[in-house]
A and B are shown apart, each in its own frame.
Chain A
Amino acid sequence: MDHRRVPRAVIDPKVRQVLVVTPPIPRPSHPRPARLRRRPPLRPIPVPTPTLTLTLTSPLRRRRRDAALVPVGSYNPSEPLLGTPPMTSPSSRADADLNFSDDAPSPPWIGRTGGGKVASSFPGSSGEMMAAAKNLPKSDLTTASVVKTLPGVSETNKGALVEMQADGIGATGSQKQKTTKAERRAIQEAQRAAKAAAKEAGGVKSAAASTGEVLAASKQAKAVKSPSQKKDGPQVTAPVSSSEKKVGDRLPEKDRKKDVPHPRMQFDDINRVEKAKRRAVVNQSEARNRVELFRHLPQYEHGTQLPDLEAKFFHLDPLHPSVYKVGLQYLSGDIHGGNARCIAMLLAFREAINDYSTPPKKSLVRDLTAKVSSYVSFLIECRPLSISMGNAIRFLKNRIAKLPHTMSELEAKSSLQSDIDRFINEKIVLADKIIVRHAFAKIRDGDVLLTYGSSSVVEMMLVYAHEQGKQFRVVIVDSRPKLEGQALLHRLVKKGLNCTYTHINAVSYIMHEVTRVFLGASSILSNGTVYSRVGTACVAMVAHSFRVPVLICCEAYKFHERVQLDSICSNELGDPDVIAKVSGRKDLNHLSNCVDNENLQLLNLMYDVTPSDYVSMIITDYGMLPPTSVPVIVREYRREQLWI
């Protein structure tokens, strides 16, 4: 389903072109693309405009962008990414400057030119026919434009053609809305009839007909428009359909190769889980009793992965040791906390890049991107990525994609390493310092500051304020099962801070005396929602009701343009057993023997979502802002990230 939908969304411009020419037939045949196009404004990621403008860039660069975007993927919806590649065909044609032989070997599409060669080897075909055949194989759906370009446009300026396509989109967009329901139905019926006719016309075609609605439409257009051509039809279409089939086969294969298991894979989809499992490096068994509402999240039997991964230590040759080490540390919980995980990952990548050498006959840009993707998929298997890590990966891939081709391998590697260093320094280390300064301004003598869990920035801020001689008291609220606050408490008390430690059950009691609440965050989403350790929402809510200001300390690299309204659709599940057991209390073992009970489902959520209503202020490295201004940062920051 996925890959079928993709091409449709993709060839929009060309399809439009056809539509303009033969208005009555194909217009309604593409309700989907039209809808897709209308949707983007609602979506967080602004896709459509760039795709249009990008059409004019060289195919190679486009490809790289795609490659960079895909696994970035981490948090982008996949359609726009998968959708883009076929767009190259118009663009490449535009660049080709009428020189078809030049056009053919354009690197990313070598496979596709095969069909073109077959066609061109026809002895008796005319020049026009050749051109048609060459145009054809570029994307599975090119047939439509062939029909059109053949008679008239093929000799005209290609730049104009692209423009026309662009115009066509707008035109059809408006046209589309004008058609009435009755009209559309009529058209559909006509189409269906034509399809049947086409099926009868030739067995060859009927095979191709299955490739998709659009194809059928194009054929129909052919049938309608040039009956004279129909006689040559079987001859011409034979290579076409074969190449189409080839393309159709290849596309999902390619996806499979480069598409790491999507971080937001829905784990209640059995097929996909099976598929992912086959690909997986880490052999993990799924937990049995899962809470119905959270089936879409990955949950594994804890304790099964580590021994397995350890036993396979020497088998994972393609994996760089440092990446492996970080994966192990994620899995065993040695590294936790957003910043620490992100830094560990980046340093591992840095080492991997340092040891990297491009294999012969491959380009650094593409091979390294694939390498990084495979590392990322390994890390995801060890533990789902955090949003901040997704951002960092996107940054890295962007940098890889932007490497100029002329750069030598050594230079490229050192530039990437310095990029990573800069990211760590500027986006994390320096950002933390700035946040500490900003937050420090908000602390007055005599304050009682409450914090929840263990946030590295908040800790630095508290220590800094203490060193600056502020007189304040800290309340550390903690919760089972991780009890992360204890480590924080330990360190703060050692530094001489005046602390109070309590569990989250008592938060409403302790909130009376609190004057400010400082919280860390795993991520901040573009609607101002704070995605953080589970329990944060509760603390923020209580603080809000007590009219205590809630300040969130969060580096800007953790911002994400996603919008999330609840903590169900995207979350992470921890080990369910730890909530069933109470360490140090042997008498509290009521759950010990019913863990395997069918009727008992344990839920250990790792994160929750705090609505922006409860957040008074977000302190970032760009300053202090209200939660409503998050989109601004996301927008500005993204641009900057691209330019770095």
Chain B
Amino acid sequence: MDFQVVVLAGGASEKLAPLVSKEAPKALLPVANRPVLSYVLELLEASNLKDAIVVVEGEEAALRVGGWISSAYVDRLHVEVAAVPEDIGTAGALRAVAHHLTANDVLVVSGDLVSDVPPGAVAATHRRHGAAVTALLCPVPVSGPSDTGSSGGKDKAKKPIRCNIVGLDSTRQFLLHIASGAEVEKDIRVQKSILRAVGQMEIRADLMDAHMYAFKRTVLQDVLDRKETFHSIRQDVLPYLIRTQLRSEISTNEVSKYETGNGAVPSNKNLNWLSQHREIAPSSFQECYVSPSSAQLESPKSHKCCAYISSKSKYCARLNSVQAFNDINREVVGEASHLSGYYFSAQNNIIHPSAVLGSKTTVGPQCMVAEGSQLGDKCSVKRSVIGRHCRIGSNVKIVNSVVMDHVTIEDGCFIQGSVICSNVQLQERAVLKDCQVGAGYVVTSGSEHKSEALSKK
């Protein structure tokens, strides 16, 4: 279908500080004991997209990601891994691989997306409108621990997440305004020209930019070439394209040239005529901005920025913070269990047959215990994910937490709302609440931590 896929897998992000490191890049963070990148790759595979370029920040991380991909998807996917310098930003990463792009359109997906929205839907919307860029917008996920918010993470749960402020036209097909990051908190500045063309703009704060974009390749390359300073797609490229959609200097000439070059439509008159009739769009916005341009019709000085809004029934979340990491882990074994690809037992949990449970140990619903893990007596596990080959002593309570591989937890520990990375050792009677423990850390016996990020120096 003439699409190329670029997966931006990132590197060692600061937001996920103790969880990721050079050894464990973000793309390989386990979500329900599978690297988060596998969710994107499998989503692509399900859509019959077998070729992808995965861009990773940092050489070492790229090696690790590449190694994992080649072992996991050896016959299934054709993935090329490209390493880019760190802190280059998403736009920079794309710039680095831009010369590999040849197809008409490029699908840019963030590697930390956990979703079941078919990429085909975004691509189809993009094609249908002949847009310069199409973004996937999804309803903001309900954040924070849903039912156990009583005990832990109160402040986080209560804070309403506002990721983006999005302006749409009345048919909800065209993207007219987007604010992200720090801009969200500032005043909204709406362009008059766009407002005049639309007549009516719908401003919504309950939508999130899911970081899956379909770009017209020529437009993307042009913007990246011209605007050297652009650092991020979300904060620079996309807002720029939306801002200039009615008076685009770059893309329009490019686009029209491309269309005439490729299509070689018979005559200029014909094109003229065509645009009159093919562009009768469903939205008043389109119509309005096509008709004035029909006066000087030869070069329609506009490009389209479209949005595909996923339905509420689809799951869509980005793993871009510790909080999100907790949420996603919980939801993938809970509400969005179809994503995990595991078979759930009658108790609505997944316990690998090779896991050993001591007597009077309970593993509640929406839990996962991976292969080779051992739990001692009288343990209790609720809404948590436990990785491979963990050794957990007796009388341990694990609630709302993620325990990665090869973790040793000694007797009498209590863990709540925390993330414990690989090879961590928790000595006896350690108590952790809402903590993140970096890989290889040793929590001394009897210590008590609350809302802390612990990691090895």
Contact = CB atoms under 8 A, between A and B. Distances in A.
Interface of A: 307, 309-317, 321, 324-325, 328-329, 332-337, 339-340, 343-344, 347, 350-351, 421, 424-425, 429, 432, 456, 487, 490-491, 494
A311 B120 contact: yes
A315 B50 CA distance: 11
A347 B265 contact: yes
Interface stretch (B272-280, B386-394, B426-434): B272-280
Given A314-B3, A429-B269, A307 B277 contact: no
A314 to B, nearest CB: 4
A389 to B, nearest CB: 15
Interface size class, chain B: 35 or more
Contact of B281 (A334, A491, A494): A334
Provide the main secondary structure of the chain A interface: helix
Contacts of A340: 277-278, 280
B277 A339 contact: yes
Contact of A425 (B1, B267, B281): B267
B128 A321 contact: no
A41 to B, nearest CB: 40
A311 B311 CA distance: 13
Interface string B122-164: 0111011110000000000000000000000000000000000
A347 B263 contact: yes
Among B3, B130, B277, B281, the most chain A Cβ lie within 10 Å of the Cβ of B277
A334 B128 contact: yes
Contact of A310 (B48, B121, B263, B282): B121
Given A311-B120, A421-B265, 20 more contacts: A307-B121, A310-B123, A312-B120, A313-B121, A313-B124, A314-B1, A314-B123, A321-B104, A324-B1, A328-B128, A332-B128, A334-B282, A336-B280, A340-B278, A340-B280, A425-B266, A425-B270, A429-B269, A487-B287, A491-B291
B47 interface: yes
10 contacts: A309-B124, A310-B124, A313-B120, A313-B123, A313-B127, A314-B119, A328-B127, A336-B280, A343-B274, A425-B267
A46 to B, nearest CB: 33
Contacts of B267: 425
B2 A328 contact: no
B281 A313 contact: no
Contacts of B104: 321
Given A313-B47, A315-B47, A343-B278, A490 B128 contact: no
Given A321-B127, A325-B128, A310 B120 contact: yes
Contacts of B120: 310-315
B260 to A, nearest CB: 12
A335 B263 CA distance: 18
A316 B266 contact: no
B287 A490 contact: yes
Contacts of B125: 310
A432 to B, nearest CB: 8
Contact of B1 (A307, A313, A332): A313
A317 B287 contact: no
Contacts of A325: 127-128, 130
Contacts of B282: 332-334
A314 B49 contact: yes
A321 B214 CA distance: 15
Nearest to B274: A343
Contacts of A424: 266, 270
A321 B1 contact: yes
Contacts of A421: 265-266
